[in-house]
Amino acid sequence: MSNDTLKIINAEKAKTYIAQKKREDGRDFLDHRPIDVKVNVINSADGSAWVKIGNTEIIAGIKFGISTPYPDSPNQGSMVFNLEVTNIASPDVETGPPSIEAMEFGRIADRVIRSAEFMDFDKLCVVPGEKVLTVFVDCYAINADGNLIDAAQFAALSAILNCKMPKLDENNNIIYKEYTDQLLPVNKKNLPLSFTFYKVDGQLLLDATDGEEYAANARFTLGICNDVVVAYHKGGDSGTFTIDEINTMMDIASSKYNEIKKKLL
């Protein structure tokens, strides 16, 4: 059986369940699958985390680098976010560079984190106008069963929250595997969380599985910080969302924010 045929079968199965007002795994339409989080899972990283949402698994690792600051922000460090879906994660993935979809998903997760004034980039300045710390966040999907955006965003946040600041030598270069007693400077009160919804035959679904994503024609991600929408992104070629549906998604995301927040802190 070809991969395209399998996609069609899984999409039709998802649609059949939704037509019966249920999901294949028994969840309500606007519920998450079980979420598991473990931190400090990679010894060679400065911070790391493993997140599992249902069968979707992502590992995030953080490394620091010394960089030249951007001209318009000479006293601020920066963050580089990358999401890679490994070729063992799904039969959809082939060897080679990251797919356009993976790059898009990574950009969405990155935008949610940046938009909440969560990370204090000013404190990553080493020499104003000359040297700053750059936070490299690399996320690797090792099993892809839907909702990679939220899984990557949760994994990245967990790694950031447990990331140790590196020591610098007399030339302001990083001393490998030596750390200060400080964690990466963040404002936990501004913890940003992503909530991704898909629309299948008029029904909104939170935390879609792979099959449900195949069946969908529209996707909408909200970045929520407390009760404030800090970012949003609409995906999907042909689908649309009504104002009422967007309001519903905002209400659901806000109602679930504290529950997810507790899992990551």
- 54 and 210 Cβ atoms separated by less than 8 Å: no
Could you tell me the residue ranges of all domains in the chain?
3-264
As assigned by CATH, the class of the 3-264 domain is alpha beta
- 133 and 63 Cβ atoms separated by less than 8 Å: no
pLDDT of the chain, 265 residues: tens digit per residue: 567 778 888 899 999 999 999 999 999 999 999 999 999 999 999 999 999 999 999 999 999 999 999 999 999 999 999 999 988 777 776 666 667 788 999 999 999 999 998 999 999 999 999 999 999 999 999 999 999 999 999 999 999 999 999 999 999 999 999 999 999 999 999 999 999 999 999 999 999 999 999 999 999 999 999 999 999 999 977 789 999 999 999 999 999 999 999 999 8
